[in-house]
């Protein structure tokens, strides 16, 4: 990939990213005016992420347009920091969704009463738990299914409780739980309650978010390696030439 081609590709990628960021900002503003608390709760994270992406895209676009080594290095460093942060955040995957498996920052956010109240209202309205009986017609299908983190953590009691499953959405709660886990007493068969107040549900939501970010991280790492490894060489060339002229 030549220098001109590399500049052209980075300019267009960042131009398209800027347009995407603008669209996300507009979407975030729309969510802030929506009456649905689920959408309103996502307004600031969406606007913040979009604004950050927009700033990085502007720097990358101008750096490639003007072939400015300083701007391109700033762009590369910021992109690298984001990738490292995402990879650190998503490096571990847990088969057992327990709240203590996650970082202290994550625990603080999930245990915040107002944060979880908003998230819980979204979970209750979602189809994750409501459609389990339609998704798994028989008890055998349900028991052998590979449940999503939210299905496993929010839609059923922890397996250590020992409640017998009658169907995909109903458990025999007359059975005395064999575990002292407080989630065993919090679970109810009601669609509005389920295990939404359980630590296992919070851990399931955290795991779901980590899984989603991991997909984004893999894509960005590939993009970074393919495009920016060549971009670094082109940034270095004028710097080396300047040093050679200065030493001659």
Its sign, for the CA torsion 7, 78, 232, 87, is negative
Do the beta carbons of residue 164 and residue 175 sit within 8 Å?
Answer: yes
User: How many residues can be counted in the chain?
Assistant: 248
What pLDDT does residue 89 have? 53
- pLDDT, one tens digit per residue, over 170-212 is 999 998 888 999 999 999 999 999 999 999 998 888 887 776 5
- pLDDT, one tens digit per residue, over 58-115 is 888 888 788 788 887 888 788 777 667 655 554 444 444 566 666 676 677 777 888 8
**How far is 170 from 155, CA to CA, in rounded Å?**
10
Report which of residues 133 and 11 the model is more confident about.
Answer: 133
Bridge-based pairing of strands 170-171 and 165-167 is: antiparallel
User: Using 50, 70 and 90 to split pLDDT, how confident is the model at 239?
Assistant: very low
What pLDDT does residue 13 have? 74
Q: pLDDT at residue 141 above 60? A: yes
Per DSSP, the three-state class of 171 is strand
What pLDDT does residue 189 have? 96
What pLDDT does residue 242 have? 44
The model carries a pTM of: 0.58
User: Using 50, 70 and 90 to split pLDDT, how confident is the model at 236?
Assistant: very low
State how far the alpha carbon of 148 is from the alpha carbons of 133, 170, 232, in Å.
Answer: 15, 18, 40
Domain positions in the chain: 3-93+212-247, 99-202
């Amino acid at each position: 990939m030549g220098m001109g081609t590399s500049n052209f590709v980075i300019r267009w990628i960042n131009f398209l990213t800027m347009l995407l960021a603008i669209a996300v900002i507009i979407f975030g503003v729309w969510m802030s005016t929506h009456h649905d608390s689920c959408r309103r709760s996502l307004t600031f994270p969406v606007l913040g992420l979009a604004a950050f992406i927009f700033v990085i895209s502007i720097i990358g676009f101008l750096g490639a347009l003007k072939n400015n080594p300083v701007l391109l290095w700033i762009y590369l460093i910021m992109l690298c920091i984001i990738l490292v942060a995402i990879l650190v955040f998503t490096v571990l995957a847990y088969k057992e969704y327990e709240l203590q498996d996650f970082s202290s920052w994550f625990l603080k956010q999930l245990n915040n009463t107002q944060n979880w109240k908003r998230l819980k209202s979204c979970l209750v309205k979602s189809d994750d738990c409501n459609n389990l009986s339609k998704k798994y017609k028989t008890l055998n299908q349900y028991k052998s299914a590979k449940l999503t983190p939210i299905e496993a953590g929010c839609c059923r009691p922890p397996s250590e409780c020992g409640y017998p499953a009658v169907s995909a959405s109903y458990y025999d709660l007359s059975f005395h739980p064999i575990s002292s886990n407080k989630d065993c007493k919090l679970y109810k068969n009601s669609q509005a309650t389920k295990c939404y107040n359980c630590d296992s549900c919070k851990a399931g939501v955290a795991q779901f978010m980590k899984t989603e970010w991991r997909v984004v991280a893999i894509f960005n790492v590939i993009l970074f390696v393919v495009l920016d490894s060549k971009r670094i060489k082109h940034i270095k060339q004028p710097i080396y030439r300047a040093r050679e002229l200065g030493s001659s």
